[in-house]
């Protein structure tokens, strides 16, 4: 099959979803017209966290914050099962689940004065559920911060041509922020000029890589140094006024990322590679995981992600200028991430056929790449991670005439930029969650911005720098990597719990909640099934993950029971 067919079908479904389904959700459930008051950005405007923001700028911030490395890695691994399951889950999941989830979290947070979904749980379900939800979120974000910092540091060391173009974004972002908010300059013109500058640095960085090893460091020391620098940067970024760095960086970064995606799809239209992968894999090696439920947690952020609800209710709701902007930013932002996941899927099932000699992490040197070589086993597919996107995406960009060196740098910058913006926002969201938890448990010191930032970062630093033996492989790894296998399940369960909060919230307001109940029930079923399978494998291979998985399972079941009890109390209080 020609890959262009899947592109046209996918884009068509995304368009129809935004044009019709998002409006249906608007009319039947979210009803933004019912909101009459000022948005939190205006009501609590402080020039730091609560800042009314123009729709295009906030879309850029939101889109780049939610679109991290996960929607790239997930499809590149899940292509193991064939192209059809990955394609359907990415496209239909984004339209009917992920976008509904993200938009709902944004709307509810705006209606509740910018509070996070974790904090809103108190009003919707119970005080106990709020604290459990907040603790659940804390553990998830600590892990996200550790792993993303480690992943970015590894990429800086392995792809030193990306260092300069990524870090120059910080400088130009501050300049753009000052021009927009202090000089009153319209954002479009300077952002387009900066876009050209950023791509010039992609070219410049391709020929002048920056290596810390040139200062006499070993590769391991260089990686550790980058991790420290990334945590220092994300801490400072989370404390600075949002308009000074994060907003303008994400805005100009969104231009760069959208152009990168555009080049990928242009390469697809030029090359029109044939999909080598089978529609559905029929032969599996011993020990390979089943497609259900593992597909739906392997591809997490590309279809639905609990982390997105934290961004929607953590930072985006505090910057929304008008309630009418919410659908484009919340629902449309998730469809933007869906196009990224679709590009990753097509790079994995078609783009890699254009790659000749290459080096795969799990296999080594390969003379001619193909789907059957890359996905010969589950262990190889999972170990290769996003390499299919880097190699296949680079090969696609080469089809439009870019030199191989610049194409590889461009793809690396694309991956790192998505991950880096998520790192920035996650640190800021974690600060908000810790402050809300401090209010809930009446520990005033946690509401201090600086203390909350330290609490947000220090445990992640511990996960990044503490190494231990992985019982599953016998190898010594950083603690963050050992704990990472539980991320997919916990992230998807967070989405299900957010949908549970949204369901009860709008049920209390007599809205049509079926479009919320169905994805909530499906994601809960998938996540509990996946967690059960993981617990069975951890029981004999990894005691640490088994114990943590049990704790996670108990916490999840407790929160679900709290939700059911809330529904029962509401029904009992209703007359007749």
Q: Over range 256-263, report the average pLDDT.
A: 86
Across 81-85, 349-353, 385-389, 466-470, the highest mean pLDDT is recorded for 81-85
- Return the CATH number at 96: 1.20.1740.10
Q: What is the pLDDT of residue 477?
A: 76
The answer to whether 147 and 398 are in contact (CB under 8 A) is: no
Q: Over range 438-450, report the average pLDDT.
A: 91
Across 128-132, 195-199, 460-464, the highest mean pLDDT is recorded for 460-464
Per DSSP (E only), the strands in 417-485 are 467-469, 476-478
Q: Helices 55-66 and 332-349 sit at what angle, rounded to 10 degrees? A: 40
CA distances from 319 to 42, 67, 111 (A): 8, 18, 13
Is 60 exceeded by the pLDDT of residue 192? Answer: yes
The region, left, alpha or beta by phi > 0 then psi within -120 to 50, assigned to residue 288 is beta
Contacts of residue 208, defined as CB under 8 A and 6 or more positions apart, other chains included, come to: 164
Per DSSP (E only), the strands in 351-488 are 358-360, 364-366, 467-469, 476-478
Is 80 exceeded by the pLDDT of residue 569? Answer: yes
Q: Over range 314-334, report the average pLDDT.
A: 95
SS3 149: helix
d(CA 498, CA 325): 21
Is 80 exceeded by the pLDDT of residue 362? Answer: no
Q: How many CB atoms lie within 10 A of CB 557?
A: 11
Q: What is the pLDDT of residue 196?
A: 87
* Structural domains of the chain, count: 1
Q: What is the pLDDT of residue 131?
A: 86
Q: What is the pLDDT of residue 474?
A: 65
Q: How many Å separate Cα 520 from the centre of its chain?
A: 19
The answer to whether 518 and 503 are in contact (CB under 8 A) is: no
Q: What is the pLDDT of residue 331?
A: 97
The answer to whether 305 and 66 are in contact (CB under 8 A) is: yes
Across 20-29, 155-164, 300-309, 548-557, the highest mean pLDDT is recorded for 20-29
Tokens of 113: 């004065």
| Confidence band, pLDDT 50/70/90 cuts, at residue 473 | low
Write out pLDDT tens, residues 534-552: 888 888 877 878 888 888 8
Write out pLDDT tens, residues 203-222: 888 888 999 988 889 988 99
Q: What is the pLDDT of residue 241?
A: 92
Q: What is the DSSP string of 183-202?
A: S---SHHHHHHHHHHHHHHH
pTM: 0.91
Q: What is the pLDDT of residue 576?
A: 55
The answer to whether 146 and 230 are in contact (CB under 8 A) is: no
Q: Choose between 110 and 67: higher pLDDT.
A: 110
Q: Provide the domain limits for residue 354.
A: 3-573
Q: What is the pLDDT of residue 313?
A: 93
Give the single-character DSSP code of 574: S
As a whole number of Å, the CA-based R_g of the chain is 22
Is 90 exceeded by the pLDDT of residue 73? Answer: no
Across 268-282, 324-338, 349-363, 489-503, the highest mean pLDDT is recorded for 324-338
Is 90 exceeded by the pLDDT of residue 12? Answer: yes
Is 70 exceeded by the pLDDT of residue 458? Answer: yes
The answer to whether 407 and 394 are in contact (CB under 8 A) is: yes
Q: Helices 404-440 and 127-158 sit at what angle, rounded to 10 degrees? A: 160
Write out pLDDT tens, residues 460-472: 999 899 887 766 5
| Confidence band, pLDDT 50/70/90 cuts, at residue 140 | confident
Tokens of 213: 């090893």
Is 90 exceeded by the pLDDT of residue 520? Answer: yes
In a 13 Å sphere around the CA of 460, the CA atoms on its Cβ side amount to 29
Tokens of 51: 């800042």
Q: What is the pLDDT of residue 29?
A: 96
Q: Over range 85-93, report the average pLDDT.
A: 97
Is 60 exceeded by the pLDDT of residue 416? Answer: yes
Q: Over range 290-312, report the average pLDDT.
A: 91
d(CA 112, CA 128): 19
Contacts of residue 401, defined as CB under 8 A and 6 or more positions apart, other chains included, come to: none
Q: Choose between 330 and 289: higher pLDDT.
A: 330
The answer to whether 32 and 327 are in contact (CB under 8 A) is: yes
Give the single-character DSSP code of 102: H
- Residues composing the chain: 576
């Amino acid at each position: 099959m020609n890959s262009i067919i899947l592109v046209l079908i996918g884009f068509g479904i995304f368009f129809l979803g935004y044009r019709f389904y998002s409006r249906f959700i608007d009319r039947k459930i979210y009803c933004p017209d019912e909101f009459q008051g000022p948005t939190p950005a205006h009501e609590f405007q402080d020039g730091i966290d609560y800042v009314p923001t123009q729709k295009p700028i906030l879309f850029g911030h939101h889109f780049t914050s939610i679109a991290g490395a996960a929607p790239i890695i997930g499809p590149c691994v899940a292509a193991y099962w064939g192209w059809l399951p990955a394609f359907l889950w990415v496209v239909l999941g984004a339209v009917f689940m992920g976008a509904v989830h993200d938009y709902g979290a944004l709307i509810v947070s705006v209606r509740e004065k910018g509070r996070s979904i974790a904090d809103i749980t108190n009003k919707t379900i119970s005080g106990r559920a709020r604290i459990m939800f907040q603790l659940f979120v804390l553990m998830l974000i600590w892990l996200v911060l550790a792993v993303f910092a480690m992943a970015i540091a590894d990429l800086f060391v392995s792809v030193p041509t990306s260092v300069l173009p990524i870090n120059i974004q910080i400088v130009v972002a501050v300049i753009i922020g000052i021009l927009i908010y202090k000089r009153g300059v319209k954002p479009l013109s300077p952002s387009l000029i900066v876009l050209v500058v950023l791509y010039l640095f992609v070219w410049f960085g391709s020929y002048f890589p920056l290596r810390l090893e040139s200062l006499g460091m070993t590769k391991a020391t260089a990686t550790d140094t980058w991790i420290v620098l990334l945590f220092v940067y994300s801490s400072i970024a989370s404390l600075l006024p949002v308009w000074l760095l994060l907003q303008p960086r994400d805005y100009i970064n969104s231009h760069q990322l959208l152009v990168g995606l555009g080049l990928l799809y242009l390469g697809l239209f030029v090359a029109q590679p044939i999909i080598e992968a089978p529609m559905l894999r029929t032969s599996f090696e011993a020990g390979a995981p089943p497609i259900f439920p593992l597909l739906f947690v392997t591809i997490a952020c590309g279809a639905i992600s609990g982390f997105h609800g934290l961004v929607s209710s953590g930072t985006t709701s505090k910057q929304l200028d008008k309630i009418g902007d919410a659908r484009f930013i919340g629902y449309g932002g998730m469809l933007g991430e869906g196009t990224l996941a679709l590009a990753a899927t097509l790079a994995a099932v078609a783009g890699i056929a254009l790659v000749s000699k290459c080096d795969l992490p799990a296999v080594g040197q390969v003379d001619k790449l193909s789907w059957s070589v890359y996905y010969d086993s589950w262990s190889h597919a999972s170990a290769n991670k996003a390499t299919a996107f880097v190699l296949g995406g680079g090969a696609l960009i080469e089809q439009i005439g870019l030199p191989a060196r610049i194409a590889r740098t461009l793809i690396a910058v694309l991956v790192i930029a998505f991950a880096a913006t998520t790192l920035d926002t996650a640190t800021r969201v974690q600060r908000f969650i810790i402050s809300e938890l401090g209010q809930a448990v009446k520990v005033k010191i946690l509401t201090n911005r600086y203390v909350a930032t330290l609490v947000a970062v220090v445990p992640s630093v511990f996960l990044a720098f503490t190494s231990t033996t992985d019982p599953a492989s016998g190898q010594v790894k950083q603690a963050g990597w050992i704990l990472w296998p539980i991320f997919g399940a916990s992230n998807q369960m967070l989405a299900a719990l957010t949908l549970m909060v949204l369901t009860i919230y709008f049920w209390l307001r007599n809205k049509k909640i079926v479009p919320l109940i169905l994805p909530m029930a499906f994601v809960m079923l998938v996540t509990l099934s996946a967690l059960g399978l993981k617990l069975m494998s951890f029981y004999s291979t990894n005691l640490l993950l088994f114990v943590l998985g049990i704790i996670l399972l108990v916490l999840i079941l407790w929160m679900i029971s709290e939700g059911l009890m809330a529904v029962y109390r509401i029904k009992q209080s209703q007359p007749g």
